[in-house]
Amino acid sequence: MNKTNKVAWLVFGILAVGVGLYPLVYVFADGEIGIQLSKSKELLANVFWNIGFYGHILFGGLALTIGWVQFSKRFRNANMARHRIIGRIYVVSALVSGICGGGIAFFATGGVVAQSGFLVMAVCWLYFTTNAYRAIKISDIEKHKVYMIYSYALCFAAVTLRIWLPLLSLILGSFLPAYRVAAWLSWVPNIIFAYFWVRRKGIVIG
């Protein structure tokens, strides 16, 4: 791995772990913070919304924190048993977070544009993660690799959302229109990047 790749890998890991651990701030905060400030008191008091919200951010954070190491060939090949354990934890976490995320997407700030963006992302994340698991269960390693690349690209939307949102807020002048755009821009470019990454690596699935 050359110096540029090492730096990119380090940045990738720092962003994944940093944003992955961020949901703990919600757990230990005294009162509402972040996106909770844009929600009504009725919604914040709704037990089902809270289950969905905390299920989404905590399990999604776990998936983001542990998932990035799986892309290191050296780490993966050094201990396949460890790779499988982390993979199982990632799959369970992604599925729980995706289901919860799909549920709370209907209450997303920003109306139907933001709601549909987050809902489609959740469905895609569930689709790719489920297919990655199915592929490895039948020992189709190539398909497993492809689907996992797409799955983590969607998981990484938690990072890209936090990059796009302040930039869009600055460009568009306010939070609400920025959030609507970010609901799509946080993950669609990630999928496009994953597509070209898969093609560059020459991974082909039938």
Q: What is the pTM of this model?
A: 0.93
Alpha helices (H) along the chain: 3-21, 24-28, 41-44, 47-67, 73-78, 80-104, 111-137, 141-155, 157-172, 175-185, 188-201
- Alpha carbon of residue 178 to chain centroid: 19
pLDDT at 75: 86
pLDDT at 206: 47
Averaged over 159-165, what is the pLDDT?
Answer: 96
Summarize pLDDT for 63-95 with one digit per residue, the tens: 999 999 998 888 888 889 999 999 999 999 999
Summarize pLDDT for 163-194 with one digit per residue, the tens: 999 999 999 999 999 999 999 999 999 999 99
Kindly tell me if the per-residue pLDDT of 204 is higher than 60: no
- Cα separation of 191 and 177, whole Å? 22
Side-chain-side CA neighbours of residue 107 (13 Å) = 18
pLDDT at 134: 97
Average pLDDT of every residue of the chain? 93
Do residues 59 and 96 lie in contact, with contact meaning Cβ atoms separated by under 8 Å?
A: yes
Residue with tokens 């005294």: 30
List the domain boundaries for the chain: 3-201
